[in-house]
Amino acid sequence: MKILKTAVLPKGFKANGMSCGIKKSGKPDLALFCSLVPAIAALKYTTNQLPAAPVILNNQHIKLAKEFHAIIANSGNANAFCGKYGLRVAQVMAQGAAKVLGVRKENIFVASTGIIAKKLPVEKIQKALPKLAAGLSHDGIALGKVAIKTTDKFTKEISVKFNLGNKTITICGVAKGAGMISPKMATLLCFIFTDANITQGGLKRSLNEAAEHSFNRITVDGCMSTNDTVICLANKMAANALIDNGTSYKIFTNALKTVCLALAKMMVADGEGATKLITLKVSQARSASEAKKIALAIANSNLFKTAMYASSKNIIGRIVASVGQAGFKIKEEKLKIKYTDLKKKEVSVEVAVGRGKQSSVVYTSDLTHEYVKINAEYN
Amino acid sequence: MKILKTAVLPKGFKANGMSCGIKKSGKPDLALFCSLVPAIAALKYTTNQLPAAPVILNNQHIKLAKEFHAIIANSGNANAFCGKYGLRVAQVMAQGAAKVLGVRKENIFVASTGIIAKKLPVEKIQKALPKLAAGLSHDGIALGKVAIKTTDKFTKEISVKFNLGNKTITICGVAKGAGMISPKMATLLCFIFTDANITQGGLKRSLNEAAEHSFNRITVDGCMSTNDTVICLANKMAANALIDNGTSYKIFTNALKTVCLALAKMMVADGEGATKLITLKVSQARSASEAKKIALAIANSNLFKTAMYASSKNIIGRIVASVGQAGFKIKEEKLKIKYTDLKKKEVSVEVAVGRGKQSSVVYTSDLTHEYVKINAEYN
């Protein structure tokens, strides 16, 4: 498997990005990603009980259609908590993209990210769509990936290439993250494109597996967004033998995991105000789920995160308090805590709880002055 | 009921506080609170599964003894996660206090607060105990309440006086709080003294009721301490007709609630770095417990807390995301959010979720630069 640090679209995909005027700063805020041929899709989205309008719409489209053509995405406004107006806006975005691409609206996915509970000026998107579509190109991913950013300091992107038989398959992922990241599904927005020939069921299983060990294992501030969405489009243009199970499924899933985990780690490393990427392993638990619960109790503790920011040796006490808060009976004398150099940018922590043989890994960031600054001054 | 803003001990109680050298700063760090006659006790403590040694010891003493004489408390070191050494230290503290007071060690409660996982130099306490006991006085509460402070900016104290029959009963509470405050029991340390004549069962029920609507409704950073303890001593010296049930129980419990709620609110107002005391009511829930869960999801959201710090109108979006994260099915169009002037020091927020008729109130603080500073620079 060859790993590229930039987004390189697979065969048959095009993209574009531009500024349509949603962001007052004039920065790019509208992106279109499309496949020239119909693609199958797998979708994962927030479990937040007040999901944004695009999440509701995508959930309808995945049930209505079997093949998809494009994702229309904007940044600067989340189109969330705007009631019927918001749903209409999401529909207008899908209709607009469908029209310029000559497909049906249910073949389109919609994604929005940015401020919540503020009306999205959808007429700006409608006006920009013809130009956006006219400028679609294979290299246009360079513009598309920038137009989905909000407070992200850097673009999140990765591509992998691997062979199946005598065919080369590409998987390319772009994402935006930063704050408000907590598991129970996902990250903010993540779009994955592949030219693999894979069954609908295979793609769904593969994305579930990959997301569980990547997007569902990261937390920045424990807050769950109303908009979190992962969309994976597969357009079969690699012309490989159909993947469903067995070895080819394992090879594909391994590659997809690589893409998802790399993007997830980038999100944590670029967590709002983050100065550290912390890999936190809880071992010796009775089950993987128990290990994950304990790991998240530590990862979401503000006291743990501020001590990490300070590279403080007082970290031990804060880990102990968090482990105890998770609610499992743990014997103090069996609890073992190890960590690498706290002053480094990447820190690994292992907490052995002495209850069993299972383990889980989560990724988190530190809590810093900059986090407070970004979130107190936003809007 | 007469409310006094300072701690005035009831009949038959004495206290003292001093510096014994645990804190490097030389600030007071050792306190003794005692009743001249045997007192009954009610106890509430952390549900953290890795409780500190004093919590373990107190839980033994409340089972071994029916009457109690004193609380020996230190600040600067939590005596937590120090294994057998820690348990021995707590025992030595109880034994030392028992010796200077001429009572048995199981008649003593022990409390510690401060840094976790660091050995407490108990010989300093042993050396100081004779002087501490010799200086006990009714007005010594003024020294005792200061010696339990850690990062507290002000002492937490209140007294209430009320009549039952022709007798006057006093309830006096002192507490220390600041960071690491999250419900599931309690606050850091809170000691309540009363001269009421009340049954053991009555005192226990009354403290449970009062704590549920005060200490269990506050959160500063969602982190649960290993040391949280509330101890209430009642020494019967008011000579009122025995309280157990009925009107006198209601009057007593109402007074105890006043004490607990006032102390709990002081803890939030002095939450580490806090600039605001936020009263958060969730109404129209199906049950009070559901309302409390939703309220805590909001109160513990870092995004909500930073927006509060900034007095930002973007608060709506952050409340919506937190309500959705709580996991209950809520109809967007039924969700109603109201709040008072965000720029004031005390802010009230009401979130009606349109599911039923029950409500709950919790109290929280904002998340500020100062919180990060205090917790990143501690130790």
Task: Determine, for residues B116 and A317 on separate chains, whether the beta-carbon distance falls below 8 Å.
Answer: yes
Which of B17, B93, B7 is closest to B54 using CA atoms? B93
| Closest chain A CA to residue B114 | A317
Which pTM was predicted?
0.83
pLDDT digits (tens, 9 = 90+) for A141-198: 999 999 999 888 899 999 999 999 999 999 999 999 865 555 433 347 999 999 999 9
Q: Which residues of B touch A273 (CB under 8 A)?
A: none
Both tokens of B167, joined, read 């007798």
Q: Which residues of B touch A306 (CB under 8 A)?
A: 371-372, 375-376
Q: For the stretch A145-167, what's the b/e string if a residue is b when 16 or more beta carbons lie within 10 angstroms of its beta carbon?
A: bbbbbbbbeebbbbbbbbebeee
Q: Chain B partners of A226 at a C-beta cutoff of 8 Å?
A: 320-321, 324
**Rounded-to-integer distance, Cα B121 and Cα A369, Å:** 34
Considering the domain architecture, whether residues B250 and B293 belong to the same structural domain is answered as no
**Is the separation of the CB atoms in A92 and A124 below 8 Å?**
no
The pLDDT score that the predictor gives to residue A49 is: 82
Interface pTM (ipTM) of the complex? 0.78
Q: Is B25 exposed, middle or buried (0-12, 13-18, 19+ CB in 10 A)?
A: exposed
Domain limits for position B321: 277-377
In this structure, the answer to whether residues B79 and B213 fall within a common structural domain is yes
What is the C-alpha separation between A98 and A92, in angstroms, rounded?
10
Cα(A277)–Cα(A269) distance, rounded to whole angstroms?
A: 5
For residue B48, what pLDDT is reported?
80
* Residue partners of A247: CB distance under 8 A and separation at least 6: none
Average pLDDT over residues A336-349: 95
Q: State the Rg of chain A over Cα.
A: 21
Query: Which of A303, A309, A320 has the CB atom closest to B117's CB atom?
Result: A320
Task: Find the mean pLDDT for residues A129-141.
Answer: 98
User: What is the tens place of the pLDDT at every residue in A362-379?
Assistant: 999 898 888 888 878 754
Q: Which tokens sit at A193?
A: 């494109």
Mean pLDDT by 10 residues, chain B (379 residues): 97 98 96 98 87 94 96 94 94 98 97 89 98 98 95 92 97 83 55 98 97 85 78 98 97 98 91 89 96 92 90 86 88 93 95 96 90 74
Within the 24-53 window of chain B, which residues sit less than 8 Å (CB to CB) from chain A? 47-51
A166 and A311 share one domain: no
- C-alpha distance from B280 to closest chain A C-alpha (Å): 18
Q: Are B78 and A303 in contact (CB under 8 A)?
A: no
Give the integer Cα–Cα distance in Å for A36 and A13.
Answer: 6
* Nearest chain B CA: its distance from A304 CA (Å): 9
Spatial separation of the C-alpha atoms in residues B109 and B117, rounded to whole Å: 21
Q: Which two tokens stand for residue B74?
A: 């230190």
Instruction: Tell me which of A214, A248, A269 is where a domain ends.
Output: A269
DSSP A158-210: EEEEEEETTEEEEEEEEEE-SSS--SSS--SEEEEEE---B-HHHHHHHHHHH
CA distance linking residue B17 with residue B32, whole number of Å? 6
Q: Which of B219, B290, B322, B332 to mutate: most A Cβ within 10 Å?
A: B332
Q: Are A171 and A192 in contact (CB under 8 A)?
A: yes
Residue B364 parent element (H or E): strand B358-365
Same-domain check for residues B239 and B323? no
Question: Residue A231 maps to which CATH number?
Answer: 3.60.70.12
Cα–Cα distance for residue pair B253/B87, rounded to 1 Å: 34
C-alpha span between B84 and A164 (Å, rounded):
59
* Shortest distance, CA A104 to any CA of chain B (angstroms): 28
pLDDT at A335 over 90: yes
A260, A324: one domain: no
Coil, strand or helix at A115: strand
Range with lowest mean pLDDT among A178-187, A214-223, A330-339: A178-187
- On whether both A261 and A307 belong to a single domain, the answer is no
Q: Does A263 touch chain B (CB under 8 A)?
A: no
What does the alpha-carbon distance between residue B132 and residue B18 come to, in Å, rounded to a whole number? 7
Q: Are B353 and B323 in contact (CB under 8 A)?
A: yes
Q: Is residue A138 within 8 Å of A171, Cβ to Cβ? A: no
Q: Which of B150, B155, B170, B187 is catalytic?
A: B187
**Strands B229-234, B336-339: parallel, antiparallel or unpaired by DSSP?**
unpaired
Give the residue from A204, A234, A269 where a domain finishes: A269
Alpha-carbon span A188 to A94, nearest angstrom: 19
Question: Regarding predicted confidence, which is higher, B71 or A315?
Answer: B71
- The answer for residues whose C-beta is within 8 angstroms of residue B166's C-beta and 6 or more apart is none
B309 touches chain A (CB under 8 A): yes
Q: How many domains does chain B have?
A: 2
Give the pLDDT of residue A338. Answer: 96
Is the four-CA dihedral A296, A301, A305, A307 of positive or negative sign? negative
Same domain, A154 and A16: yes
Closest partner residue to B179 among A116, A221, A303, by Cβ?
A303
User: Where in the sequence numbering do the catalytic residues of A fall?
Assistant: 187
From CA A9, how far away is CA A175, in angstroms rounded?
A: 14
Give the tens place of pLDDT for each residue, A6-20: 999 999 999 999 999
One-letter amino acid at A283 equals S
Pure H helices in chain A? 53-64, 83-101, 122-134, 141-147, 200-212, 246-269, 288-299, 302-309, 315-325, 369-377
The predicted structure's pLDDT at residue B158: 98
Clarify whether residues B257 and B288 are in a common domain.
no
**What CA–CA distance (Å, rounded) separates A188 from A114?**
10
Q: Which two tokens stand for residue B49?
A: 């599964």
Distance from C-alpha of B111 to C-alpha of B130, rounded to nearest angstrom: 18
User: For residue A43, what is the DSSP state?
Assistant: E
Q: Does A73 lie in the same domain as A187?
A: yes
- B338 CA to chain A: closest CA distance, Å? 14
The residue of chain A with its CA nearest to that of B327 is A49
Helix (H) or strand (E) segment spanning residue B40: strand B30-45
* B193 touches B238 (CB < 8 A): no
Phi, psi of A31 (to 5 degrees): -135, 150
CA B368, CA B272: separation in Å to the nearest integer? 9
Cβ atoms of A155 and A43 within 8 Å: the answer is: no
Task: Choose one of B217, B252, B269: the last residue of a domain.
Answer: B269
Q: What is the pLDDT of residues A50-87, one digit of tens each?
A: 889 999 999 999 999 999 999 999 999 989 889 999 99
Q: Which of A81, A184, A372 is facing B306, going by the closest CB pair?
A: A372
Q: Are residues A62 and A11 in the same domain?
A: yes
Residues in chain A: 379
CB pairs under 8 A between A and B: 197
Question: What is the C-alpha separation between B342 and B336, in angstroms, rounded?
Answer: 17
**pLDDT for position A183:** 40
Are B129 and B216 within 8 A, CB to CB? no
Among the listed residues A59, A230, A54, the one whose alpha carbon sits nearest the alpha carbon of residue A125 = A54
Answer yes or no: do A210 and A129 share one domain: yes
Whether residues A215 and A294 fall in one domain: no
Question: CB-based contacts of B187: which residues, under 8 Å, 6+ apart?
Answer: B175, B177, B181, B215, B218, B228, B230, B263, B264, B267
Number of residues written out for chain B: 379
Any residues with CB less than 8 A from the CB of B289 and at least 6 apart, and which? B360
Residue A250 pLDDT > 90: yes
> CB neighbours of B159 closer than 8 A, spacing ≥ 6?
B3, B4, B6, B7, B8, B170, B171, B172, B173, B259
**Contact indicator for B52, B26 with CB cutoff of 8 Å:** no
Residue for token digits 């808060």?
Answer: A325
Residue from A144, A194, A198, A196 nearest A172 by CA: A194
> What pairing do the DSSP bridges indicate for beta strands A156-164 and A2-4?
antiparallel
